[in-house]
Amino acid sequence: MVKLSVIVPFHNVRPYAPDALKSLRANAREDIEFILVDDASTDGTEDLLDRAEREIPGAVLVRRSEKGVSGARNTGIDAARGEYLTFLDGDDYAAPGYFALLLASIESLGCDFVRTDHVRFTGAERTLHRVPFGPRDTVVSPRAVILPAERSTPVDYPYSWAGAYHRRLVDEGLLHFPEDLRTAEDRPWIWRLHRKARSFAVPSVYGVFYRRGVTSSLTQIGDTRQLDFIRSFDRVLAETAEDAEADRFLPKAVRTYCAIISHHLATIDKFEPHVARRLRSMSASALRRMPQHLLNETLDSMDLSRATQLRRLRRRPSTAPEAAA
């Protein structure tokens, strides 16, 4: 019987895929399956995955036409047979025995999902990043940890691969990712989980190594795909506004949205000039779409530099209809 399905999307990550596949081999167990999703790779990754399916116990290869990481993860979710599911990106890797520990943790805690710390690395540098929630091995309501608005909380830690999820979340329509977003697809996903699931915990377990600085990663590319963060956060606001406790949660959503806009403006030099112009125009329109009383409260509580920047941006004339779909 398969207890845990590990879903791993790959798209043109030939230099890094061997590390991911080696780590899966080091985690092989008869009750763990590895769903390898080839998202139309053309750089030799597909050949590595063919061999991995033959050589790694529990590996199952699924091919699909290129539709992005959300579609690849959803393909893996649909193919998974495990009672629990987790994720790993094809350019990252896991420590030996990590998935067995992850499985044991969520089984013993008996909750809908768990979130785990992870190691971020660039070259030889290693840094432990912790879930922004203090208690460990304690089951709580996911809704109870969305706030406070002014501090980092678990909804600001959206990494799907940093955790494990009970199959009932699939059955309830909470685990699939929005395929129309090319980046920040995990933001509506994590907010939905925390608003609608019943229980979660942070176990004293970590073992995913997240590779930073991959040149093909969308976090490193300054093209128009990056601008999907606006549609992503518009969706967070719209869905949160429908919640029974919208008045409590919307200030947090607005504050996070503003912080992400400020972050992108601070790195605007990585964008091509025409994309940078769109970023400013779309961000200005986004600020005007937010509930203005909440936006004013947010800006009043932010540091002077960011607040001034966002106030000026809000007054910027729109040059085109930039509302997110």
| Model confidence pLDDT, tens digit, residues 176-187 | 999 999 899 999
Contact 116, 203 (CB under 8 A): yes
- C-alpha 59/C-alpha 262 separation (Å) is 42
Amino acid at 151: R
Contact 190, 253 (CB under 8 A): no
- Of 203, 219, 235, which marks where a domain is finished? 219
Beta strand pairing call for 113-115 and 200-201: parallel
Contact 40, 28 (CB under 8 A): no
Asked whether the bond before 96 is cis by omega within 30 degrees of 0, the reply is no
- C-alpha 116/C-alpha 139 separation (Å) is 13
pLDDT classification of 123: cutoffs 50, 70, 90: confident
> Mind listing the pLDDT tens digit for each residue in 239-259?
999 999 999 999 999 999 999
**Claim to verify: residue 178 and residue 229 sit in the same structural domain:** no
Mean pLDDT, range 16-37, rounded to an integer: 98
3-class DSSP assignment, residue 91: coil
**Claim to verify: residue 173 and residue 130 sit in the same structural domain:** yes
**Claim to verify: residue 214 and residue 282 sit in the same structural domain:** no
What is the model's pLDDT at position 282?
96
**Claim to verify: residue 52 and residue 96 sit in the same structural domain:** yes
Q: In Å, how far from its chain's centre is CA 20?
A: 18
3-class DSSP assignment, residue 74: helix
What is the model's pLDDT at position 213?
77
Query: Residue 34 above 50 pLDDT?
Result: yes
Q: What is the largest CA-CA distance in the chain?
A: 60
What is the model's pLDDT at position 323?
46
Q: Please name which of 256, 276, 137 lies closest in space to residue 191, comparing C-alpha atoms.
A: 256
- Which of 96-100, 206-210, 220-224, 241-245 has the weakest average pLDDT? 220-224
Query: Residue 278 above 60 pLDDT?
Result: yes
Mean pLDDT, range 153-159, rounded to an integer: 98
Amino acid at 227: L
Establish if 225 belongs to a structural domain: yes
**Claim to verify: residue 188 and residue 269 sit in the same structural domain:** no
pLDDT classification of 224: cutoffs 50, 70, 90: confident
Query: Residue 196 above 60 pLDDT?
Result: yes
What is the model's pLDDT at position 318?
64
Question: Distances from the Cα of 194 to the Cαs of 23, 257, 323, in angstroms?
Answer: 30, 17, 26
CATH code at position 88: 3.90.550.10
pLDDT classification of 220: cutoffs 50, 70, 90: very low
| Mean pLDDT of the chain, nearest integer | 94
**Claim to verify: residue 146 and residue 294 sit in the same structural domain:** no
- C-alpha 167/C-alpha 162 separation (Å) is 16
- Which of 161-165, 206-210, 212-216, 249-253 has the weakest average pLDDT? 212-216
Mean pLDDT, range 120-124, rounded to an integer: 92
Helices 246-266 and 273-289: angle between axes, nearest 10 degrees: 160
- Of 219, 234, 259, which marks where a domain is finished? 219
**Claim to verify: residue 119 and residue 241 sit in the same structural domain:** no
Percent of the chain with pLDDT over 90: 90
What is the model's pLDDT at position 47?
96
Place of tokens 């990056």: 226
Establish if 325 belongs to a structural domain: no
Query: Residue 154 above 50 pLDDT?
Result: yes
Query: Residue 219 above 60 pLDDT?
Result: no
pLDDT classification of 214: cutoffs 50, 70, 90: low
The pTM of this model reads 0.93
What is the model's pLDDT at position 116?
98
Establish if 322 belongs to a structural domain: no
Structural domain boundaries enclosing 267: 221-314
Beta strand pairing call for 206-211 and 93-94: antiparallel
**How crowded is residue 300: how many other Cβ atoms within 10 Å of its Cβ?**
8
- C-alpha 232/C-alpha 187 separation (Å) is 7
Mean pLDDT, range 70-92, rounded to an integer: 97
What is the model's pLDDT at position 275?
94
DSSP per residue, 176-187? PPPTT-SS-THH
Asked whether the bond before 132 is cis by omega within 30 degrees of 0, the reply is no
Establish if 246 belongs to a structural domain: yes
